Chains A and B, each alone.
Chain A
């Protein structure tokens, strides 16, 4: 450790590191390890039976699949929103900019109820889908809608500053070198914002995995089809099966951790190329 310290001219290394570790322990590690301890009371066999239960597996599949789809949708449209907010000036831009944060501020249950009403077969939006025999509310599609709603700000807010940092001069330079719009995006802009986009994607994805409030109202919660893992956890809690609930939580945690680690590695690898 002492040779890390020797490299840095910034003061307060010991204090800062100590504080960081303490803080993370209090806020993150201790609650999480409590989760693991509680799960451990089940023993390996018990843990395995809970997690490998067909209904649990199905709910995990629904959770991760819908979260992934929602994060992809958010990455795509969030990028467009960020683009518009950074590159163009139009009346009401500040209002649009503020709107982006609304999903953060709104209680998720309110969002869920509203979306469920809108997308129900007789709702304002749902009736048009219903006319084409597409059911949105009370299906996995509905879950995706809710998760897309709550995840949007993550992508917009992470991409926006990075995009603003890409000077328009760079685009002009590319254009004067003969690059078309698509080439400019693909070769100049995208590589610059890719790490931020990935971060936004990861945040939206992580947020979606843990989302409960907005989803349960629109999901319909049919076992094996539109039942998410957090709902199963709550169900187990209501039956006072605390160990069972934490077992599902631990399984979700491990999968999420692995996925986020993978995304981080991807990001580290891509950003390293630019600043090396």
Chain B
């Protein structure tokens, strides 16, 4: 089911949580809402799920107005960061909950409920835990049960609020791959909220980057990483080096106050100047981290450190040591006018 959001606004006191949001979610898509905490992503998700009310704007499910319907009637599955499982119920009863509270006429008989619950528990590979209570489960297991519970009512839309936020790194990685596979099997229109860029880039079909209640960019994971639309996206997704025009005029080329944004792996390092725009620097730190080598350099005149990432091969071709005088030059960069965005100052 597709979701259309038009001119959505939400205000908490004087704080604008959502500022004129427009978004189209395609049917069967897995969309990530990515942004720092307080950027409005969770508010947006809760409004879509009917757990919060928007101040103004429109929300359409498959072309039909959804704001009129409350959470019960929206047929939306919601997965919470802290699982929100029913503590006093077994895993089986948790998953069966949505089936048991259906209106009498639509309710399945006990045998059918049993069959469906076990089917779902098999789907999340936890059928053997059916008789346990949530307190006896690990975090990863609880979240999978929460997902099974949400899927029990056969929702047309699945909303996940920081679903892996409370889990440790290893489980997190495993679960997000599992979620991606599950989505490929089920094809439910899904939106998940995260502040973890790696998670968003790895799992989602498309990523919506949000900041201060606004959408900064919508695009595929590749697009938001390779072609960030705003300085904020540049800084939020991946590492970036900033070169102010007053220090490195040749790169920014524009008149006035501008800043060049350069990814650490888009910088060339050489013992001889590549051309007349090359910047002479001194190597301050060399550190091999797994498959990459991180080099920090500083220009002579300022102490600002520039971070460079080299592959092992490239590093081996031009070995560097601390104190070496070398030249750097960006292979690829993007210039933003200073003051173009408020976020600029965050640099």
On A, residues with C-beta under 8 Å from B are: 167, 169-170, 172-180, 183, 187-188, 191-192, 273-276
How far apart sit A172 and B150, CA to CA, in the bound complex (Å)? 12
Interface residues on B, range: 20 to 34
Q: Write 12 A-B pairs (CB below 8 A) sorted by A numbering.
A: A170-B85, A170-B86, A172-B78, A173-B84, A173-B149, A175-B71, A176-B51, A176-B150, A178-B153, A191-B88, A192-B87, A273-B88
In-complex Cβ contact of B86 among A175, A176, A188, A273 (8 A): A188
Given the contacts A172-B71, A187-B101, A177 and B149 also touching, CB distance less than 8 Å:
yes
Q: Which residues of B contact A188 (CB under 8 A)?
A: 86
Q: Which residues of A contact B87 (CB under 8 A)?
A: 192, 274
Q: Is B61 an interface residue (CB 8 A)?
A: no
B133 and A274 contacting across the interface, CB-CB below 8 Å: yes
Specify the chain A residue showing the minimal Cβ separation from B102: A178
Q: Is B344 an interface residue (CB 8 A)?
A: no
B88 and A180 contacting across the interface, CB-CB below 8 Å: no
Q: Which residues of B contact A178 (CB under 8 A)?
A: 72, 75, 98, 101-102, 153
Q: Which residues of B contact A179 (CB under 8 A)?
A: 72, 97-98, 101
Question: Would you list which residues of chain B between 65 and 119 have a CB under 8 Å from chain A?
Answer: 70-72, 74-78, 80, 82, 84-89, 97-98, 100-102
Distance in angstroms from A168 CB to nearest chain B CB is 9
A176 and B71 contacting across the interface, CB-CB below 8 Å: yes
Specify the chain A residue showing the minimal Cβ separation from B98: A177
A176 and B49 contacting across the interface, CB-CB below 8 Å: yes
In-complex Cβ contact of B72 among A167, A180, A191 (8 A): A180
Apart from A178-B153, A188-B86, list 17 A-B contacts with CB within 8 A.
Answer: A167-B82, A172-B51, A172-B78, A173-B78, A173-B85, A173-B149, A174-B86, A174-B101, A175-B50, A175-B71, A176-B150, A180-B72, A180-B101, A183-B101, A191-B88, A192-B87, A273-B88
Distance in angstroms from A36 CB to nearest chain B CB is 40
A276 and B133 contacting across the interface, CB-CB below 8 Å: yes
Given the contacts A273-B88, A276-B133, A173 and B80 also touching, CB distance less than 8 Å:
yes
Q: Is B137 an interface residue (CB 8 A)?
A: no
How far apart sit A224 and B51, CA to CA, in the bound complex (Å)? 57
B88 and A274 contacting across the interface, CB-CB below 8 Å: yes
Main secondary structure of the interface of A (DSSP, over half): helix
Binary contact track B31-57/A, C-beta < 8 Å → 1, others 0: 000000000000000000111000000
Binary contact track B114-155/A, C-beta < 8 Å → 1, others 0: 000000000000000000010100000000001001101100
Distance in angstroms from A272 CB to nearest chain B CB is 11
Given the contacts A177-B149, A178-B153, A273-B88, A169 and B80 also touching, CB distance less than 8 Å:
yes
Distance in angstroms from B95 CB to nearest chain A CB is 10
B153 and A177 contacting across the interface, CB-CB below 8 Å: yes
How far apart sit A178 and B84, CA to CA, in the bound complex (Å)? 15
In-complex Cβ contact of A176 among B77, B89, B102 (8 A): B77
In-complex Cβ contact of B50 among A176, A183, A187, A276 (8 A): A176
Specify the chain B residue showing the minimal Cβ separation from A192: B88
Given the contacts A175-B72, A176-B49, A178-B72, A170 and B97 also touching, CB distance less than 8 Å:
no
Q: Which residues of B contact A276 (CB under 8 A)?
A: 133
B135 and A275 contacting across the interface, CB-CB below 8 Å: yes
Distance in angstroms from B134 CB to nearest chain A CB is 10
Q: Which residues of A contact B70 (CB under 8 A)?
A: 175
Distance in angstroms from A268 CB to nearest chain B CB is 15
B51 and A177 contacting across the interface, CB-CB below 8 Å: no
Q: Which residues of A contact B80 (CB under 8 A)?
A: 169, 172-173
Question: Would you list which residues of chain B between 172 and 221 have a CB under 8 Å from chain A?
Answer: none
How far apart sit A169 and B76, CA to CA, in the bound complex (Å)? 15
Distance in angstroms from B261 CB to nearest chain A CB is 39
